[in-house]
Amino acid sequence: MPSPPALHTLLLSLAFIFSAAALNADTTILDDQVLGFNVSEGAAPGYIDDRACSTCHEALYDSYQQVGMSQSFKRPNQAKIIEDFEAKPFFHAASQRFYQMKKEGDTLIFSRFQHDQQHNKINEYSVNVDWILGSGNTTRSYLIQTPSGELFQLPIGWYSQDKKWAMSPGFENAQHDGVQRQVKRQCMFCHNAYPNAPAQSDSHEQPHVFPSDLPQGTGCQRCHGPGAKHIRRVLNGEHDLESVKAAIVNPAKLPPKQRDSVCFQCHMLPSVSLVGTRDLKRADYSFRPGENLNDYLHHIDIQKAGQTPNERFEINHHAYRMTLSRCYTESQSALTCISCHNPHKKITLKNNPEHFNNVCKGCHASIDNNTIHQQQAGQKHCATCHMPRQRTQDVVDVIMTDHRIQKHALPETQRLAPLTKSDPVIEGISVMYPGEDAEIYQILPLIRALPLQQFVDQLEQLLLKKRLDVSHPVYFDLLKAYIKVQAFEQANSLIKPMLTYHGDNATLLNWQGVIQTADKNYVAAENSFTRALKQQPNNIEILMNLGILQVTTKQFTHAEKLLNQAILLRPNNHRPHYYLALIAIEQQKDQAAIEHLKTAVAIKPSFTHGYVKLYEQLQKHGAHAQAARYLEHGISNANNPERLKTMQTQADTQAQNDSR
């Protein structure tokens, strides 16, 4: 190690290199800038554009650009083109919808349509893609970002192994979210670097909105921690080498639990069907490399009907399956992700098999003397037999390496056989690393995914037993569940002390308005919604709740303003179009009502109320052929076709009577 004077000279030299060469950037060290790059503040402070890292670590930065993580999130004009944009529209038989992705210059366009009984297009919808999610090594998904800052996943995805378009995971069934599946912070947590978001915007029950200028890819600092402080110390020239190093995290030098937590923050997901929850006292963007992941995230494991844990294999089971391996459990934490994987460089079994073989031989040095291995020499590698590729059970169009190191794997024909996607039957759940509040974190995933009365009762009894007061964040979940199961009396009793403690919290005021609306206390509800909207003027849910309330109370002018604002902020929302149609009907503006209703069912082709009102308005307007067209189509596509079938029966009966 250099002597202090020599070290000081070295750091000054580094500072000079920065100033002379680094991206031709302004080297003035401002509170909000380093090397000409903005430094994040707010929810995740101290992060900087990863290009700043390349100033000293150019080779690592360049090689990392070939790693899938660096390509996990891109603008369409920045992503490597791997898709077939000339393919014919993909037809999803279950939902009777056609999907297509087309590329025009730098613009990626998603379109969806259906066919009516005469095979003419109906319910046409198109939108420009804003973001591509996924490196494309196996799959890619496509997102839109609304003016409100919300992200939504589109239903179609690209599957690289088969080079085909198909439905993205979760969209396989007839009834799915369409263009309205919201991408939340906990989803983006694993798919991208942290955004520069306002302080506390990532807190419990805050709206899931993102800045328009998002990072592009899971960059250096998700593994090494925020880098601005580290760079400032280098540029400052007044810190010794140890102080410079201390301002950044080297995951390889962390204790085993903290080291593994860096990888596990994204690559440990025991179950896709039921996901564990973040610690209620932590914000979404609060995890930092060097922490124990179990202090931030409470993973749950599931017991699936008809399967042992060793038989379950899902697309994000890298770390989960590895931890089931005897090699992992008996290595006393020596075996880890980076034993095989260099995060900065793409190394595959195909291009460097000896790299992986040598890792295995680190423990199994005499393995070459085994008769079976001598027979296989030069033909197969350790991972070929002991970490074989297998079809994932949750995303059935994908084949992945199984990271559970096993002595005897299933035959290839069984591992790679085609699968039909089916919803899992979950027989039990457990918290993987139980702590003080394990019972709460066991019930929370159930409450959030499926708020049934029995789960609500369990959480209520648990909180009574623990004697937690209303300051605890878990009461937000209980209150929300009360509202979802329409237990408004309990909700009203709980929200009063919560408002006393939290003050004019926008989320609570909005929910108070919902409770008051259910009680038909419309004046009080309007006051609650108005107070909430004053705090969060672009919150779609509050806008919609107040707008719908004003439709109910026939305050049409005010309602129109709110509903149109909701459309501007979230154009893929069918609900404001429906309520604007109700206003237009009241005002006898039939054509305007028809256009709004056509838009509503184009956005959401399963929208029963939209077909009902559209049929009635077209009939009233004398457009009987169009009315019959939408009625027939609604019967085949609506989520509640029985009501439409009744209307068709009534129409047929009326037609018979008229013909007599």
**Considering 394, 426, 458, which residue would you say is the last residue of a domain?**
426
**Torsion angle in degrees (nearest 10) through CA of 424, 426, 429, 432:** -30
The domain that holds 590 is classified in CATH as 1.25.40.10
In a domain, 440, yes or no: no
Same domain, 174 and 321: no
Specify the DSSP element, H or E, that contains 594: helix 590-603
In a domain, 49, yes or no: no
**Cα 569 to Cα 575: distance, rounded to the nearest angstrom:** 13
Same domain, 511 and 633: yes
- Measuring CA to CA, which residue among 78, 87, 86, 140 is closest to residue 106? 78
Residue 657, pLDDT score: 83
In a domain, 466, yes or no: yes
What percent of the chain is predicted at pLDDT more than 70?
Answer: 93
Count the helix, strand and coil residues of the chain and give each as a percent rounded to the nearest 5.
Answer: 45, 15, 40
Same domain, 498 and 597: yes
Same domain, 505 and 642: yes
Same domain, 352 and 457: no
Q: How many CB atoms lie within 10 A of CB 609?
A: 18
Mention every residue, 6+ apart, whose C-beta is less than 8 A from residue 167: 92, 155, 156, 157, 176
Same domain, 104 and 166: yes
- Measuring CA to CA, which residue among 148, 155, 143 is closest to residue 192? 143
* 492 HSE (CA, 13 A, CB side): 14
Same domain, 504 and 414: no
In a domain, 257, yes or no: yes
Same domain, 183 and 307: no
Range of the domain at 257: 253-426
**Cα 530 to Cα 656: distance, rounded to the nearest angstrom:** 52
Mean pLDDT, the chain, integer: 92
pLDDT single digits (tens) 358-374: 898 888 887 766 666 76
* 114 HSE (CA, 13 A, CB side): 24
pLDDT single digits (tens) 620-657: 999 999 999 999 999 999 999 999 999 999 888 887 88
The answer to whether the CB of 280 falls within 8 A of the CB of 204 is yes
- Measuring CA to CA, which residue among 446, 496, 452 is closest to residue 470? 496
Asked whether the predicted pLDDT for residue 298 surpasses 90, the reply is yes
Specify the number of domains making up the chain: 3
pLDDT single digits (tens) 438-487: 999 999 999 999 889 999 999 999 999 999 999 999 999 999 999 999 99
- Measuring CA to CA, which residue among 49, 128, 245 is closest to residue 571? 128
Identify the residue with better confidence: 21 or 136.
136
In a domain, 634, yes or no: yes
Same domain, 388 and 522: no
In a domain, 375, yes or no: yes
**Cα 230 to Cα 223: distance, rounded to the nearest angstrom:** 14
Same domain, 368 and 301: yes
In a domain, 389, yes or no: yes
Asked whether the predicted pLDDT for residue 251 surpasses 90, the reply is yes
Same domain, 412 and 335: yes
**Cα 409 to Cα 386: distance, rounded to the nearest angstrom:** 7
In a domain, 612, yes or no: yes
Mean pLDDT of 407-412: 90
3-state class (DSSP) for residue 276: coil
Q: Give strand pairing partners of 291.
A: 289
**Whether pTM exceeds 0.85:** yes
